[in-house]
Structure 1
Amino acid sequence: MGNSAVSSLLVKSAVWDVGIQWSLFLIAAYFKTEKFYDLAGSGTFLLLATQSLRWGGTYFLRQRIQTGLVSVWATRLGLYLFSRVLSDGFDRRFNKAKNQPSLFFVFWTLQALWIFATLSPSIALNGVKRDKPLGARDYIGWGTWAVGFLMEVIADRQKSVFKANPANAGKFINTGLWSISRHPNYFGEILCWLGLYVSASSSLTGWEHLTAISPIFVTLLLTKVSGIPLLEKYGLKKWGSDPSYQNYLRKTAVLVPFLW
C-alpha cells in the first residue's frame, strides 16, 4: 500500500510538472520571452510540494516541515531570479534559444526534468503512509538544508549589492563568500537538496531511495551543464586577460570552499 501510494504520487506529480512546463513553453515561444522562465520553475516547485502534501493526505510533522522548507526555497529563489531578469531586461542564456522554438522547447523540458528529479525525495515522502518519530537523520538533513539556504541567500545578496555599486561596473566579485568559492550560491543549492534527501530518506524504503538522484542531478546540472560551465566561460571571455582574475581563478575554489 505504502509503495503504491508513493509511486502514484510521483507519477501524478510528473504529469503535472511536464504539463505545466510545456503549456508555459507555448506562451513563452509565442511571445519570444524568457522573463518568466525561472519564475515558472520555482512556482512549479512550490505548487508540486504543497499539492503532493495535500494529495498524500497524511500531513505528518516530517512531511509538513519538508514541504515548508521546499516552499521557502522556491519562493525566495523565484522572486530573486524574477526581479533580476526584470532589472536586467534579459537572460543571456536564452539570447539564441528564445528565437528558435525547438531549442527553447529543450530548455523548458529540461526544466521539467530538473523540477521532478530534484523534488522527488520530498514528493515521495509526502506519499508515505507510515509515520515514525523524528530522528538524527531528519535533523542532520534539515541542518544541512539550513546551511545551504543561508549560503545561497547570502551569496546572492552579496552579488546584488556588489553589482548595484557603480564603482564595481565591469568588475568581478571576489569578496565575502565569493572569496572562498567562485560559485558559493551553487554550493548552497547543492547542500539544500542533499539535506532534503537525507531527511526524507529516514522514512523511505526500497526503491524509494532511488530519489537520491535529487542531489546527484542538481550537482551534475550545476557543474556540467547549465551553471558553472556557462559562467566560467563567460568570466574567461570578459576578464580572462586580467591578471587579478587569473589570480582569483588560481587561488579560489570552483565550488567547495577551500578545495581546489
Structure 2
Amino acid sequence: MQFLILCVVALIISSIGFYRFVWFISLGYGFSMAGIGIALLVMFGMGGSLTWVTTIMAALLIVYGLRLGGYLLIREQRSAAYQRTMKNEIKDGSSMNPILKIIIWMVCALLYVCEASPLLFRLQNHAPTDAVAIIGMIIMLLGIVLESASDYTKNRFKKTHPQRFCDVGLFRLVRCPNYLGEVLTWTGMFVSGVTALDGVWQWLASIAGWVCIVWIMFGGARRLELRQNKNYGSDPEYQAYVSTTPILIPFVPLYSVAKYKWLVG
C-alpha cells in the first residue's frame, strides 16, 4: 500500500511534465524525490517506525530532490545556452501522442519510487539499523555532496569561461563528476537496503531502480561526450583531457562511451 502511495505522490508532482515535456525527467524528477522523502517521514513517523538512519536517509532524499529541482529550475530560467541545448536534444512533446506521453509519465513515476524503494522496504520490514544501512547512508551523503559540488564548480567555471570545457576541480578526476555523484547517491540507497529486502518483488523493484538510474547516467555521459566532441573536438587541450581523464568512474580507464548507442540518458 505504501508503495502505491509513493507512486501517487510521484505521479502528482511529475505531472508538471504535461506543461513542459522535459520536466518529466528534470524538475519532476527532483521534486518527486523530495515528495517521496516527505511522504516516508509522514507515513512511518506516525507509526513510530523510523530509526535514526532511516530518518536521515529520508531527509537526504528531501535535500537531494529540493537541491536538484531548484538547481535545474534556476538554470532553466537564467541560462539561454542550456535552453538551446535542451531544445535541440530533447523533444518538447508537442507532437507526441497523448497516450505515449501518459505512459512516459507513469514509467517515470514508477522509476522514481523504485529508486527510493530500498528505504521504503527497510521501513516496511522493520529492519534494525546495521552496518550495511549506515554504509549505504554514508555513500548516499557523499554522492549528494559530490553532485552538488560538481554543479557548483561547473556553474562558476562557465561564468568566466563560457566557451571552454570544464576541467578544473572534480572534473580532473572524471569528466562527469555530477553524474558520478548521482550514481553514488543511488548506489548508497540500494546498499542501505541489501540486508532489509525480503522476497523477490522487493529485490526486483530495488535492483530495477538502481540499474535504470546507472544506465541513464552513463547515457547522459554519452550525450555530453557527443556534444563536447562537436564543440571542442578540434581543440588539442580537449583531446589531451579526454584521453587521460575517465568519463565517469574514477581510476577506470574508460575514456569514451560514444560508440555505445544503446546507452540512453
Specify which structure has the higher proportion of helix.
Answer: 1
Measured after TM superposition, the shift of residue 20 of structure 1 is 4.1
Q: Cα 1:50–1:204, aligned 2, differ >3 Å: closer, same or farther?
A: same
1:77 aligns with 2:78: no
Deviations 1:216-239 (A, max 9, x none): 211101113xx1121111001101
- Give 1:199's match in structure 2, choosing from 184, 192, 196: 192
Q: Is the 8 A contact 1:142 1:199 kept in 2?
A: yes
Measured after TM superposition, the shift of residue 107 of structure 1 is 6.1
Measured after TM superposition, the shift of residue 36 of structure 1 is 8.7
Identical aligned pairs, as a percentage?
26
Measured after TM superposition, the shift of residue 86 of structure 1 is 1.0
- Give 1:163's match in structure 2, choosing from 158, 163, 183: 158
Rounded Cα–Cα distance in structure 1 between residues aligned with 2:167 and 2:199: 45
In structure 2, what is the equivalent of residue 100 of structure 1? 94
Measured after TM superposition, the shift of residue 120 of structure 1 is 2.1
In structure 1, what is the equivalent of residue 132 of structure 2? 137
Secondary structure of the equivalent of 1:144? Answer: helix
Q: Is the 8 A contact 2:10 2:113 kept in 1?
A: yes
Q: Is the 8 A contact 2:36 2:61 kept in 1?
A: no
In structure 1, what is the equivalent of residue 5 of structure 2? 12
Q: Which amino acid in 2 is paired with 1:149?
A: I
Q: Is the 8 A contact 1:42 1:74 kept in 2?
A: yes
> Which aligned segments of 4 or more residues in structure 1 are displaced greater than 4 angstroms?
34-37, 106-110
Q: Is the 8 A contact 2:141 2:185 kept in 1?
A: yes
1:86 aligns with 2:77: yes
Question: Matches of residues 241-252 of structure 1 in structure 2 within 5 Å?
Answer: 241-252=234-245
- Give 2:18's match in structure 1, choosing from 11, 18, 26: 26
Rounded Cα–Cα distance in structure 2 between residues aligned with 1:43 and 1:235: 29
Q: Cα 1:91–1:17, aligned 2, differ >3 Å: closer, same or farther?
A: farther
Rounded Cα–Cα distance in structure 1 between residues aligned with 2:25 and 2:176: 22
1:60 aligns with 2:50: yes
Q: Is the 8 A contact 1:53 1:126 kept in 2?
A: no
Q: Cα 1:88–1:108, aligned 2, differ >3 Å: closer, same or farther?
A: farther
Measured after TM superposition, the shift of residue 99 of structure 1 is 5.5
Measured after TM superposition, the shift of residue 108 of structure 1 is 4.5
Measured after TM superposition, the shift of residue 102 of structure 1 is 1.2
Q: Cα 1:245–1:212, aligned 2, differ >3 Å: closer, same or farther?
A: same
Unaligned runs of 5+ in 1: 1-7
Secondary structure of the equivalent of 2:165? Answer: coil
Q: Which amino acid in 2 is paired with 1:233?
A: L
Rounded Cα–Cα distance in structure 1 between residues aligned with 2:85 and 2:107: 17
Secondary structure of the equivalent of 2:19? Answer: helix
Higher relative contact order, chain-length normalized (CA < 8 Å, sep 6+): 1
Unaligned runs of 5+ in 2: 254-265
- C-alpha root-mean-square deviation of aligned residues, in Å? 2.4
- Give 2:252's match in structure 1, choosing from 243, 249, 259: 259
Rounded Cα–Cα distance in structure 2 between residues aligned with 1:107 and 1:13: 17
Measured after TM superposition, the shift of residue 84 of structure 1 is 1.1
Q: Which moved more, 1:240-249 or 1:111-120?
A: 111-120
Secondary structure of the equivalent of 2:189? Answer: helix
Rounded Cα–Cα distance in structure 1 between residues aligned with 2:72 and 2:177: 16
In structure 2, what is the equivalent of residue 209 of structure 1? 203
Deviations 1:10-34 (A, max 9, x none): 233224423543x4233336xxxx5
Q: Is the 8 A contact 2:119 2:192 kept in 1?
A: no
1:228 aligns with 2:221: yes
Deviations 1:24-82 (A, max 9, x none): 233336xxxx5796222211111122213423434421332221111111111111111
Q: Is the 8 A contact 1:73 1:149 kept in 2?
A: yes
Q: Cα 1:123–1:65, aligned 2, differ >3 Å: closer, same or farther?
A: same
Rounded Cα–Cα distance in structure 1 between residues aligned with 2:24 and 2:187: 27
Measured after TM superposition, the shift of residue 258 of structure 1 is 2.1
In structure 1, what is the equivalent of residue 115 of structure 2? 118
Q: Cα 1:38–1:175, aligned 2, differ >3 Å: closer, same or farther?
A: same
TM-score by length of 1: 0.83
Q: Which amino acid in 1 is paired with 2:39?
A: Q
